[in-house]
Amino acid sequence: MDATETKPFRTLFFVAVVAVGAAGIVTASHEFSKDRIAANQRARLLASLHSVLDLPVGEVDLNPIPLQIGDSDLLGSGGAVDAFVINRDGHPLAAIIASVAPDGYNASIQLLVGIDENDAISGVRVLSHRETPGLGDAIDIDKSNWIEQFDGKTLDSPPLEMWAVDKDEGSFDSITGATVTPRAVVKAVKNTLLYFRDHKQELFSAAEAIERQQSGENE
Partner 1 sequence: MSNAKTSWLGGVWRNNAALVQLLGLCPLLAVTTTVVNGFTLGLATTAVLMATNTTISLLRNSVAPAVRIPMFVLIIASLVTCIDLLTNALFFDLHEILGLFIPLIITNCAILAQAETVASRSPVGPSLASGFATGVGFFAVLVALGALRELFGSGTLFAGFSMLFGERAQMISIDFPFDGMLVAVLPPGAFFGLAALLALRNLIIERGRRRQFAQQESLRRDRAS
* Binding span for partner 1 by CB under 8 A among 133-141, 164-172, 183-191, 199-207: 133-141
The CA distance from 82 to 196, in Å, is: 13
- Asked if residue 16 binds partner 1 (CB under 8 A), the reply is no
Residue 198 has phi, psi (to 5 degrees) of: -85, -20
Among 26, 80, 107, 209, binds partner 1 (CB under 8 A): 26
Got the DSSP string for 4-70? HHH-HHHHHHHHHHHHHHHHHHHHHHHHHHHHHHHHHHHHHHHHHHHHTS---TT------EEEEE-
Partners of 193 in the β-ladder:
none
Binding of partner 1 by 20 (CB under 8 A): no
Q: How many residues at the interface with partner 1, by CB under 8 A?
A: 27
Kindly state whether residue 107 participates in binding partner 1, applying the rule CB under 8 A: no
Query: Interface with partner 1 includes 18 (CB under 8 A)?
Result: yes
Which residues contact partner 1 by CB under 8 A? 1, 3-4, 10-11, 14-15, 18-19, 22-23, 25-26, 29-30, 32-34, 36-37, 40-41, 43-44, 133-135
